[in-house]
Structure 1
Amino acid sequence: MILPIAGILVLGSCKDFIEPSIEDKKVFVNAPADSTQTSTYLQTFWWEEVEDALSYRVQIVTPGFANASRLIMDTLVTGNKFLYTLDPGFYEWRIRGENGSSSTFYATQMLTVFESNIGSQVLQVNSPANGLLTNLPETEFAWNNLYGAKVYRLQVDTNNFRDEKVVYLDRTTTALDLKVHFSKDQTYQWRVRAEQDSAVSKWSTVSVIRYDTTPPSVVTLVSPTKGASTASPVSLQWKAMTDASSYQLYVYRSDTTTLYHPSFPMTLKVANYSFKEGVFGEVVYWKVRAADLAGNWGAFSELRSFTIQ
């Protein structure tokens, strides 16, 4: 009984080293169903995930692959949903799963999009991602073209659009992007819509962006104490900080300017480091600074020395 079980274990572990082929598999499409006719420009392409597929290739052409006049989209997607805004027209789209060594059969569907009033449409935004945390004073907002639009209106607010007459920014553009400068560390909400002479589209879903330029406070070194003599390896420790996402450790030779090793400065997620270099009697200097999630670097700690014993 032992040999068959061992064999099963070996076969099970092979999958971790040999990528399974997915050539005989097919992606099953959930939506839009084949030959769908719709007046909605923003389409959600949705399918069942295929085991061992790492990504999915989505291709869209008009009017069909046999007589394509234009390639609309050819992209790789992770997950099982893809949103894209189409103009009115006749389309054929297909999808297949892929991994590093093989791909599935294509699943191919027809789709017809009819022209409709812009008031029933929703604009598709591209960037920035919802919840973005940034320390850059200028951020580019971008969205997809919406058929029938003459201009696009971008609104940015700090009060979640409770009073639409008083917002942080309200600007129109004929372009598909707009750069916005932030002047104050704060959380901002933003949305965009398309407009024409007689109608406006629905607002996009409200997204959030946080602007943060405040650096973490100065790191406090703990041990070894200043000028201490200590045996190797030396445990360098400093106080962990709630506003820090990482730390940058500098270690210098006795001249206080030459980095001890090419691996320094070293970025760490924890508030300690085991220093295993050095020789007996050598004086070593070190300092640390912290960074937050927005990428702001705080000031350096004091430059402290220790002697290896």
Structure 2
Amino acid sequence: MKNLKIKPQRLGLLAVISLMCAVTACHDFFEKNIEDNVVLMVSPTDGGSSPIYLQKFIWKPVNGAREYHIQLVTPSFDKLSQIVMDTVVASTNLMVTLTPNKYQMSIYAQNAGYQSKVTTISFDITESYDLSPQEMNPTQPTNLSATNATAITFRWDTITGATSYSFELFDANGKTVGGAIPVTTNSITIPSSDTKIEQLTEQAYSWRIFARNEISDSKAIISRFTVDRTAPVQPKTLQPNESDTTKVATSLFSWTKNADTGTPIADSIIIASDQGFGTIVKRALCTNNSFSYTFPSSVATYFWKLKQSDAAGNTTETQPRKLLVLPQ
């Protein structure tokens, strides 16, 4: 074999890159420098005042940012009384239900190597006994989620000035389940003796919650979820067959799905070097009912199986299959 020669210019470039990676970490080297950028807030505005408790924090995206670090305090960072929120989000918006008070918020963008300049705004939330302009914020189950739980707890943000709440649940046809249920806390569980509602059947549901006091009701936001407790139907016509032998370094695994009426299903292939799957050599999510894998160039026996998981958390696995791999 001929000796591999690297041109001096190439060697110099590699040395520079290696040195920079060692000093700053490689991911920092390839991240966009956003240190001079500023996060521009859209809502709320600096110095603003609002009687709406459910605040929608919106800001413009920073090119090169992976996420945003937000801190919210009362009444200010200089005269700190309470840290209301300290969180990192990947989106450019966030909804938070607040109580009447003075607030100060800071936000900056960040990626694996850099962070932007800090933007700070101040605003007030004023108190109003009239609940009619207020919006509810249902938090659990999250909107458009799926669950396989037998007991489901519904939660929402509390509203200042509310003396009670009215909970309503609807089935897939829009028919009420149990009618309007009065609640004095910010949660309710089904089934329970308080609701007199049986365990929910497998279907799509929607629910809403109203805050109430002696003079008014709040607005409500419809939230939807699906109950699915049925495991995915196992796939058919899996390839390779049990105890197949292959002389091809790269093997194609494939399967055919059965019809499934439940929540969306994700396929994962698991390849191991032992029948008990104690030593996993490859685990990967799959698309298009297939997966391609290149085995090491040596004689070895492998075992593989397919795991299917739906959005509600139900899973099913195929029986392990043995595959003998021979060198070409």
Q: Distance in 1 between matches of 2:323 and 2:90?
A: 50
1:208 equivalenced with 2:224 (yes/no): yes
1:62 shift after superposition: 2.3
1:273 shift after superposition: 6.6
Q: Distance in 2 between matches of 1:207 and 1:139?
A: 14
Name the residue aligned to 1:133: 146
Give the number of aligned pairs.
Answer: 287
Q: Distance in 2 between matches of 1:306 and 1:64?
A: 64
1:144 shift after superposition: 1.5
- DSSP-derived class of the 1:118 partner: coil
Deviations 1:188-215 (CA, angstroms, capped at 9, x unpaired): 0011121223322111x21110111222
Amino acid at match of 1:145: T
- 2:161 aligned to which of 129, 148, 164: 148
- Contact residue 150 and residue 196 of structure 1 kept, 8 A: yes
Name the residue aligned to 1:10: none
Name the residue aligned to 2:181: 171
Report which stretch shifted further, 288-297 or 188-197.
288-297
- 2:209 aligned to which of 161, 177, 192: 192
Amino acid at match of 2:74: T
Deviations 1:243-296 (CA, angstroms, capped at 9, x unpaired): 35325668897xxxx43772289665234676959969x8x8876564434332
1:26 shift after superposition: 1.8
- DSSP-derived class of the 2:109 partner: strand
Identity of aligned residues (%): 26
Name the residue aligned to 2:49: 37
- 1:66 aligned to which of 78, 83, 86: 78
Change (3 A) 1:24 1:167: same
Deviations 1:135-186 (CA, angstroms, capped at 9, x unpaired): 222333222221011223322111565x6xx435643333333333443110
Q: Which runs of 5+ in 2 are unaligned?
A: 1-12, 14-25, 192-198
1:97 shift after superposition: 2.0
- DSSP-derived class of the 1:65 partner: coil
Report which stretch shifted further, 112-121 or 136-145.
136-145
Let me know the Cα RMSD of the aligned residues.
3.8
1:298 shift after superposition: 4.2
Q: How does 1:227-246 map to 2 (within 5 A)?
A: 230-233=245-248, 237-243=254-260, 244-246=265-267
Amino acid at match of 2:190: V
Q: Distance in 1 between matches of 2:27 and 2:305?
A: 46
Q: Distance in 1 between matches of 2:75 and 2:324?
A: 76
- Contact residue 39 and residue 62 of structure 2 kept, 8 A: yes
Report which stretch shifted further, 192-201 or 207-216.
192-201
Name the residue aligned to 1:84: 96
Q: Distance in 2 between matches of 1:140 and 1:25?
A: 42
Q: Distance in 2 between matches of 1:293 and 1:15?
A: 32
Amino acid at match of 1:194: A
Q: Distance in 1 between matches of 2:284 and 2:36?
A: 45
Amino acid at match of 1:67: K
Q: How does 1:1-309 map to 2 (within 5 A)?
A: 17-116=29-128, 117-159=130-172, 161=174, 166-168=176-178, 170-181=180-191, 182-203=199-220, 205-223=221-239, 230-233=245-248, 237-243=254-260, 244-246=265-267, 258-259=275-276, 262-263=279-280, 269=286, 270-271=289-290, 290-298=308-316, 300=318
- Contact residue 71 and residue 106 of structure 2 kept, 8 A: yes
Q: Distance in 2 between matches of 1:15 and 1:288?
A: 33
- DSSP-derived class of the 2:217 partner: coil
- DSSP-derived class of the 1:178 partner: strand
Deviations 1:20-53 (CA, angstroms, capped at 9, x unpaired): 3333322222222222122111111222222222
